[in-house]
Structure 1
Amino acid sequence: MTDPTIGNLRVNGATLRFEVRGQGPLLLLIPGGTGGAASLDGMADDLAAEYTVATYDPRGMSGSTLDDPDAEQSVAEHADDALRILELLSPEEPARVFGSSSGGITALHLLTARPERVERVVAHEPPVVEVLPDAAEHRALIARVQETFRGQGLMPAMAEFAAGLQKSGEPGRDKASDPKPEISLPPQAAARAEQTMANLPYFVGRIVPSFMSYAPDIDRLEALSSRLVLACGQDSRGELPYRPAAFLAERLNTELLHFPGGHTGLTTHPAEFAELLRKALRA
């Protein structure tokens, strides 16, 4: 396991906390959800043998603070944050970029906005639901989640959100209510879980509505498709986060790569995930 170098970078309206480990060409890993850079530790350590691996907490999460905690969030600004890290760590050469979930949306925008800074992008289950034929249904889901969050609080909103992400053909199943085994976590893992929970209100209230209403420039992605790898989890078929990547891969006439696990496969199968990512970045 490699001890990362930790730094802070001032960007527009925020201070980003980032970590760097390894050596070689730059690989930027953009986390999704609420886990921040810590969610990528296992995979980053594996990849650091071949790359200079940079990870960071997206603005507003964990160690990356906002100047204005109530500021609205946008995909474009989050992509600009990623660009600033690239410019700091690889000012002369374009970098490889991986993003998962909301981080995958950031990566897609970075590719279309600043393609000269990106050599290759792997986007894992970016939930760009606006590309789907039934996008109106998902807009309604996001609206229900926000209404529930404001009226009933965080956990009912998360239950509403989880129900909307379920596999098609499983009506009425609420994944948030599935029984969970009691697990005793080591102190470091417990601290990460606590931080993940602390990030949830910001994620539900600020990230979900702005990121899941984002519509990528499909024509621009088609022009840049030789640099883009769209990926999904083997166990995600039928779930909402799977569908946009599959739709885009078909639309762009590119292969859809399948990684181990489901939407959070990078944390449940970090070694296998890292090995497949390594191959995708070389192709």
Structure 2
Amino acid sequence: MTVLDAPGAQLYFEVHGQGPLMVMIPGAGGTADSFRMVAEHLAADYTIVLYDRRGFSRSRLDGPQDYSHRLNTDADDVRRLIEHVGGGPATVFGASSGAIVALALQTRHPEVVHALVPFEPPAVLQLPDGDRWVEFFHQVYDLYQHAGIGPAMQWFRAQTFPHSDQQVMGAVPRNEANAIYWFEHELRQYPAVQLDLNSLSLHAERILLAVGREGRGYPAHDVSVVLARKFGRNTVELPGGHVGAVSHPAAFAQELTTALAEEGLTATDRPNTHAPHRRLL
């Protein structure tokens, strides 16, 4: 098991493939496993770094945590991984709340980012009815406290994702500890983030706003559309919905790679001389 020591945590990570560096930031599940299938296809063109975000599964907490600045800590962890593995700056792909982490990374550490792909970040305050969505997430949390994970998760998914996503999510075995950690420290907090749009717009040319084709009309999809408009960028549609990397891994990887190339965001291959371990998928 490959682990990076970070302040307050032991970060589990994996390195696969060869080529320019791409770091993939998971969303609510918090683990490298959510990208395992799509990484099999991306590893032909990129050195892929998968990891568990701190507090999830194999990335154990080690000491006190500052939960009032958890998003910043998440972003700093990605910067540490890029610097530790070497070969950066990196293409950074983040899905769902991982996309919010990716945007925070771009704001805090733009020097480690070659290209940024925030895939459907649920930063709902960008929406005209954003306050209503923030209140909804608080209501989901209240349901979790009174009725448990199952009913709360079912209601959350039914309101925020298309039916195709709900089927995929429902088929994934639930990790109780990860679900609790997400409910307590992320469900209400990350969607309510105030993005630093001025800072992000300074690097808009390196940001590729990506959405799932099946997600139109749902909040995370629509946030990407709003951000693209604010940054003067186009959105790129990828196969599936919010979890298209799971439901359509081969097509998702191919179209993501093509979109990066078409936008001029494909990095030249840099020798990765500092990678502690490389495993081909």
Quote how far apart the aligned CAs of 1:152 are: 2.1
Matched to 1:20, the amino acid is V
- Identity %, equivalent residues: 37
How far, CA to CA, are the matches of 1:149 and 1:98 in structure 2?
A: 29
Residue 236 in 1 paired to residue 215 in 2?
yes
Residues 96 and 281, structure 1, Cα contact 8 Å, conserved in 2: no
For these two proteins, the number of residue pairs brought into alignment is: 259
Residues 111 and 121, structure 1, Cα contact 8 Å, conserved in 2: yes
Residues 149 and 205, structure 1, Cα contact 8 Å, conserved in 2: no
How far, CA to CA, are the matches of 2:143 and 2:174 in structure 1?
A: 23
How far, CA to CA, are the matches of 2:253 and 2:62 in structure 1?
A: 34
Residue 110 in 1 paired to residue 89 in 2?
no
How far, CA to CA, are the matches of 2:97 and 2:141 in structure 1?
A: 17
Query: Structure 2 length normalisation: TM-score?
Result: 0.85
| 2:245 aligned partner | 266
Quote how far apart the aligned CAs of 1:160 are: 3.1
| 1:84 aligned partner | 80
Distance 1:266 1:197, change over 3 A: farther
Distance 1:60 1:69, change over 3 A: farther
How far, CA to CA, are the matches of 1:142 and 1:152 in structure 2?
A: 15
Matched to 2:72, the amino acid is A
Residue 210 in 1 paired to residue 189 in 2?
yes
Matched to 2:35, the amino acid is L
SS at match of 1:16: strand
Equivalent runs, 1:152-231 vs 2, <5 Å: 152-166=147-161, 193-194=172-173, 196-231=175-210
SS at match of 2:27: coil
Distance 1:145 1:247, change over 3 A: same
- Equivalent residue in structure 1 for 2:254, among 275, 280, 283: 275
Q: Which ranges of 4 or more aligned residues in structure 1 deviate by more than 3 Å?
A: 68-71, 193-198
Residues 96 and 120, structure 1, Cα contact 8 Å, conserved in 2: yes
Quote how far apart the aligned CAs of 1:262 are: 0.4
Residues 8 and 65, structure 2, Cα contact 8 Å, conserved in 1: no
Matched to 1:121, the amino acid is L
Q: RMSD of aligned C-alpha atoms? A: 2.3
| 1:151 aligned partner | 146
Residues 105 and 128, structure 1, Cα contact 8 Å, conserved in 2: yes
Residue 59 in 1 paired to residue 54 in 2?
yes
How far, CA to CA, are the matches of 1:27 and 1:165 in structure 2?
A: 28
Quote how far apart the aligned CAs of 1:156 are: 2.2
SS at match of 2:188: helix
Quote how far apart the aligned CAs of 1:194 are: 3.8
Distance 1:179 1:222, change over 3 A: closer
Q: Which 5+ residue runs of structure 1 have no aligned equivalent?
A: 1-5, 168-174, 184-192
Distance 1:179 1:111, change over 3 A: closer
Whose relative contact order is higher, 1 or 2, with alpha carbons under 8 Å and at least 6 apart? 2
How far, CA to CA, are the matches of 2:161 and 2:90 in structure 1?
A: 34
Q: Which 5+ residue runs of structure 2 have no aligned equivalent?
A: 265-281
* 1:66-124 Cα distance to aligned partner (Å, 9 max, x none): 1259863721111111110001012x631111111011111111011111110001111
